[in-house]
A and B are shown apart, each in its own frame.
Chain A
């Protein structure tokens, strides 16, 4: 399946992905409601976007007590709003921290790959986010591990 491939070295921290995501997902330009989140590293000297891996287990999906999370045509785990009651069980079952809850709607929400046409990948001006048929890996781990000197400053 096609997945969001993240190349963190290319990210400039412009946050266009967050604006595009929140607009397409919730109708508002509001990074707090984006399901792709850009994090700063090394005191804002570099940045990387982080989002759902569409993992094989689908911890959110198997945890849902009413079957409100399914797999859409793009292969993404997707919340069915009319079935979600907002119990938040998916948010504690997801071990990646990519299941969110919208207090305004009372529903869980997550990356659904915009059903096969992800807005974040379109909006990214530097191809740090691309939509490709590749195996999902830990896109950010090595990048972040190389950028820990400020994080670990003061730690023995």
Chain B
């Protein structure tokens, strides 16, 4: 069994892997964590941005917890090189760490649109804790904030910016918002909703430059007038942190190619989270799902296998949810599969929309959208996830749902989806509570 585990990256994937190694191992091993930042959750940064939580709330493991887990740390350091023949990882300060097996969980970084002025002070990214702190310092009640990009990350901080008392304008290069999360009908509905709530949206807007303008910023576009504002947030995408693995011999496609045990093409090197290209749940094909639940599951499965268990991963399921001005927007699975049969339901009198996508009599993707105040009075959000996850053959219930896309529950229950799901666990055993300190063996 490997005696020395090296975990590169202290985000969701790395943290889950370390915890699972301690839960699963038969003999106490050595774990070393290399992380550029102290471990924290990016998911909750929007709640720190609007001060609904304290900064201390974002951290996922204190130094004391890591010590309790028996993890040696190299914090503030980045991995610079991986020698997969000698089994040595070299850090940016020259430190060489030998390993028996290694998990690559270096995640992603925010990328700014490559325009002149993108590096000016007051032009922010929102991805890391440091970037969150900088944005907090710059955003005041009455500030005019321009968000460049209308994707998922932008939408996760939309409420926070409004809660800070700022005025918000969203500019998007594509003809519509949320292009990688919902379809055009849903996007149109969300756009209308946001306009009603005082958010200005400009689509088809190609930013060409950002200039200083008497203490403020001037944004220039390929077409249409300039925008002058106080704060610019570039929510223009993320890029996986893989550059340091050049010449490592590990096969990289969109991400590090991993098998159903989260192993890369080098046997003792695993990858998890945003950097991993692994099996997708429904199709089985290799995908990068840069989302929190995938990082968590990848991390746990990789950790179990590093601890000597034989755990096969069933594959990741794409899922996203975001709430904007009390409108919930969620999508699951292959929600944009052009080959799927699709049925939609749209309420005339309120912003409520469903899309169900089918392959045969199985639900392979779904979009659900509605006011927070009523979406949670049904069980539909989770049940849609369950139907996609279980790949239930729905038989005649498919036709029922085809005519009644807002009435998920009777079909879910009568098709006995619960029976199919009850025995499934990610690690082949009940999950442990997060507060439970793994038993030191």
- Which residues on the B side are within 8 Å of A142 (C-beta)? 416
**Smallest Cβ-Cβ distance to B52: which chain A residue:** A85
B216 interface contact, C-beta 8 A? no
**CB-defined contacts of B377 to chain A, threshold 8 Å:** 32
Judge whether B323 and A63 touch: CB under 8 Å. no
Chain A: CB-nearest residue to B388: A95
User: Are A92 and B319 in contact (CB-based, < 8 A)?
Assistant: yes
Cα distance A103–B159 in the bound complex, in angstroms: 14
- Scoring A residues 46 to 59 as 1 if CB is less than 8 Å from chain B, else 0, what string do you get? 00101001011110
Are B413's CB and A85's CB within 8 A?
no
Which chain B residue has the least Cβ–Cβ distance from A37?
B379
Chain B residues lying within 8 Å of A57, measured Cβ to Cβ, are: 424-426, 430-431
Stretch from B73-81, B202-210, B265-273, B292-300 contacting the other chain: B292-300
| Cβ B381 vs Cβ A97 within 8 A | yes
Shortest beta-carbon distance from B207 to chain A in Å: 29
Q: Which of B41, B52, B300 is the one whose CB lies under 8 Å from A65? A: B41
A23 within 8 A of B: no
Distance (Å) between the CB of A39 and the closest chain B CB?
6
List A54-76 residues whose CB lies under 8 Å from chain B.
Answer: 55-58, 61-67, 69-71
Provide the main secondary structure of the chain B interface: helix
Chain A residues lying within 8 Å of B297, measured Cβ to Cβ, are 62
Residues on A with beta carbons closer than 8 Å to the beta carbon of B418 = 53, 96, 138, 140-141
Interface class of chain A by DSSP: loop
Q: How far is the CB of A29 from chain B (nearest CB, A)?
A: 15
B300 contacts across to A, CB distance below 8 A: 62
B321 within 8 A of A: yes
A119 lies within 8 A of chain B by Cβ: no
B400:A92 contact, CB within 8 angstroms: no
Binary per-residue interface labels of chain B (386-424) against chain A in the complex, 1 for a CB within 8 Å, 0 otherwise: 100110000011011001000011111111111101111
Least CB separation from B411: chain A residue: A151
The winner among A50, A56, A137 for most chain B CB atoms within 10 A is A56
Query: Across the two chains, which residue of chain B brings its CB closest to A78?
Result: B433
Stretch at the interface among B97-105, B133-141, B325-333: B325-333
* B381 and A92 within 8 A (CB): yes
Given A63-B296, A93-B293, A98 and B409 contact (CB-CB distance below 8 Å): no
Residues on A with C-beta less than 8 A from B323 are 88
B421's partner among A64, A96, A99 (CB-CB below 8 A) is A96
In the complex, are the beta carbons of A58 and B332 less than 8 A apart?
Answer: no
Cβ contact of B44, chosen from A87, A91, A103, A137, cutoff 8 A: A87
Decide if B60 is an interface residue (CB 8 Å cutoff): yes
B residues in contact with A141, CB < 8 Å: 413-419
User: Would you give the shortest CB distance from B10 to chain A, in whole angstroms?
Assistant: 13
Given contacts A66-B57, A71-B433, contact A87 B426 (CB under 8 A): no
Shortest Cβ distance from residue A132 to the other chain B in the assembled complex, whole angstroms: 17
Q: Report the Cα distance A154→B400, complex, angstroms.
A: 9
**Contact, CB under 8 Å: A93 / B319:** yes
B291 nearest in chain A by CB position: A89
Specify which of B414, B432, B433 is in contact with A144 (CB 8 Å cutoff): B414
Partner of B399, one of A55, A66, A89, A155: A155
Q: Is A94 an interface residue (CB 8 A)?
A: yes
Task: Chain A residues near B47: list those with CB within 8 A.
Answer: 85-87
Contact with A along B26-39 (1 / 0, CB 8 A): 00000000000000
> Residues of A contacting B319 with CB < 8 Å?
92-93
A97-B383 contact given A55-B421, A67-B435, A85-B44, CB 8 Å threshold: yes
Does B385 interact with chain A (Cβ within 8 Å)? Answer: yes
| Partner among B382, B396, B412 whose Cβ is within 8 Å of the Cβ of A94 | B382
- CB within 8 Å for A97 and B12 given contacts A65-B44, A151-B410: no
How far is it, in angstroms, between the C-alpha of A41 and the C-alpha of B386 when the chains are bound? Answer: 21
A134 an interface residue at 8 Å Cβ cutoff?
no
Within 8 A of B (CB), among A69-127: 69-71, 83, 85-89, 91-103, 106
| Given A92-B330, A92-B381, A96-B421: A151 touches B386 (CB 8 Å cut-off) | no
**B421 to A103, Cβ gap below 8 A?**
no
The answer to whether A95 and B411 touch (CB under 8 A), given A58-B431, A136-B422, is: no
Contacts of A99 in B (CB 8 A): 382
Q: How far is the CB of B221 from chain A (nearest CB, A)?
A: 33
Residues of B within 8 A of A147 (CB): 414
> Could you list 15 examples of A-B contacts with CB < 8 Å?
A32-B377, A56-B430, A67-B435, A69-B434, A83-B57, A86-B47, A88-B321, A92-B382, A93-B385, A95-B382, A103-B373, A106-B52, A141-B415, A151-B411, A152-B400
Top 7 nearest A-B pairs (CB, nearest first) are: A97-B379, A95-B386, A97-B382, A67-B434, A141-B416, A138-B419, A97-B383
User: B residues near A, CB below 8 A?
Assistant: 12, 41, 43-44, 46-47, 52-53, 57-58, 60, 292-293, 296-297, 300, 319-321, 323, 326, 328, 330, 332, 372-373, 376-383, 385-386, 389-390, 396-397, 399-400, 403, 408-419, 421-426, 429-435
Other A-B contacts than A87-B43, A91-B321, A137-B422, 20 sampled, CB-CB below 8 A, are A53-B418, A56-B422, A56-B423, A56-B431, A57-B424, A62-B297, A63-B292, A65-B296, A66-B60, A67-B434, A85-B47, A85-B53, A91-B376, A92-B320, A102-B376, A140-B413, A141-B418, A141-B419, A145-B416, A151-B410
